[in-house]
Chain A
Amino acid sequence: MAGDALSGPGLEEGTAPRPDLESMAWWEGLRAHRVSLQHCRDCGRTRFPPMPSCPWCASTAFDVVESAGRGIVYSFVTAHVAVSPGYRGSLPYSVATVELDEGPRLLGRVEPPSPLAIGDRVVSRFVDHATWTELYFEPASAQPSGPAAAHPSGPAPPR
């Protein structure tokens, strides 16, 4: 079952994230079911992963803002073999690079793993493991329809 893959054993032992001083707020946010992103006070870009300074303007001034957790699939892979060290979840599974509506990209597993295509709209869900909370994605069509949450977003990175 797809749901078993998200909560099953194997995601806990040896592979739980090890937060550092930069990422603490991200992981604590997920634990509280919030998608917390850094937002540069100088150039206005929202970024991920968490960094001590802005990857576009080097400013160290930032706020932490909350993302609606919605975006599109920029790219993805589907693993049919357990090649990732420590992974003992079910197969196959898909991991996508999701471009959030606020601009930054992040990684997440997508359930179900197929069908999945570049450009698909996805929404995030929180899955609580014993010691950490995972952000995974599912097709936006699986959600009740409604307007996307309004969000104070910065301009997207230059394309």
Chain B
Amino acid sequence: MTGTSGPGRTAALVGVGFTPFTRASGRSVLALAAEAVANAVSDAGLRLDDVDGLGSFMVSDDSVPCVAVSSALGLGPLRTVLDMQLGGQAPCHLVWQAAQSVARGDAEVVVVYRALNGRSGARVGSMQFAGMGGQYRYPIGYGAYLMYVGMWAQRFLHETGQGPADLGAVAISQRRYAQHNVRALRREPLDLATYLAEPFVVDPYRRSDCTVEVDGACAVVVTSRERARDLAQPPVVVASGCYRAGPRPGLDIGDHLLWEDYTRNYTSWLRDELFGRAGIGQGDVDVAEIYDCFTSTVLMGLEGLGLCARGESGEFVRSGACGLDGRLPTNTGGGLLAEGYLHGMNTVAEAVLQVQGRGGTRQAPRHEVAVVTSGALMDGSALILTADR
């Protein structure tokens, strides 16, 4: 099997770092970012002096730029910096760009992080996004991100013949994993009757369909595979990465009016390139970490990536296939739904932990190949990660 990040060297993920996930950190976003970055570097067995690249993303200035983290940690000269004005579409995209930087030799050690006081500070779930599309949404009370994703979910369920029990199955499956994850904010067990008894927030979503906003930070370390082999944790090869904005992606991240098909998101558009580059088929995937700000994006992602046939994702989840003893353990840390809304950076980190075999009591038995996605609607990104083999 080939594992290449481009024309040059092969890149690998080698460390992860977190802060605690809380509802009120009482700390600055910069303090959170610096802590997560330092923890990831330490986890990899590297020193802060080794870092020569940083990458991060923010929505409406809810975080700190890479230069601030460099300054706070006293890093040496940075050879690459990737600051993106994006939301949850960014993590896999940033890791892939970092891998390309390493592959080209532009940088040796790039740390990608996301840091925010997403609960006690600016809350993405209810902030007004800058852009030309807002004037058509906010005046009529259509101004929360869950409404946009819900609008797609309603059409998706309608066209694919799925329903509330299919959404609920995702929440239930992931809550089971969360009981094995001390970082997870929602760890109480969930069953279908309890789920269905929850009142709607925005139909088709109940409380358990929605991510839980948190304060916190998460970081991952990208370096060359060769260097990674000498470090503290097993290398996780970045076998493939892909970003895609489908045609007519709108005026801003909340404008979906020109998008043709609300039942297929960016995953349908990047699937062939993602798997093709890695030389890996859907049947080879051992673990899936699918971006899940809301339950429906897991179903749409499973179908979009071709991990399930059209209209069969709900039955797939209900059958237990996404559980630890199932055919495709999925969102093994509880996901954004239960662990917390770090905008998919933690989704990447969980994939790294799984491929490394560091999942503890939630470790998938087979963990050679993982697929990760970032994003929910018109644009997003994905990675295929493999063990070093």
Contacts and interface: CB of A to CB of B under 8 A. Distances in A.
Interface of A: 11, 15-20, 22-23, 27, 47-49, 55, 74-87, 89, 92-93, 95, 97, 104-109, 118, 132, 134, 136, 157-159
A18 to B, nearest CB: 6
Contacts of A92: 203
Given A85-B144, A97-B151, 11 more contacts: A16-B139, A47-B258, A49-B136, A74-B155, A75-B154, A84-B144, A86-B128, A95-B151, A108-B140, A109-B140, A157-B260
Interface residues of B, number: 38
Interface residues of A, dominant DSSP = loop
Nearest to A95: B142
Nearest to A21: B132
A92 B154 CA distance: 17
A138 B263 CA distance: 25
B150 interface: yes
Contact of A107 (B152, B202, B251, B257): B257
A3 B143 CA distance: 21
Interface in B306-327: none
Contacts of B140: 11, 95, 107-109, 134, 136
Nearest to B127: A85
Contacts of A158: 260
Contact of A84 (B142, B155, B204): B142
12 contacts: A17-B135, A55-B258, A75-B155, A79-B147, A79-B202, A87-B141, A87-B143, A95-B142, A107-B257, A109-B140, A134-B139, A136-B140
Interface of B: 125-128, 132-133, 135-144, 146-147, 150-152, 154-155, 158, 199-204, 248, 251, 255-258, 260, 262
A108 B144 CA distance: 15
Contacts of B151: 75-77, 95, 97
A82 B147 CA distance: 11
Nearest to A5: B141
Nearest to A14: B138
B35 to A, nearest CB: 30
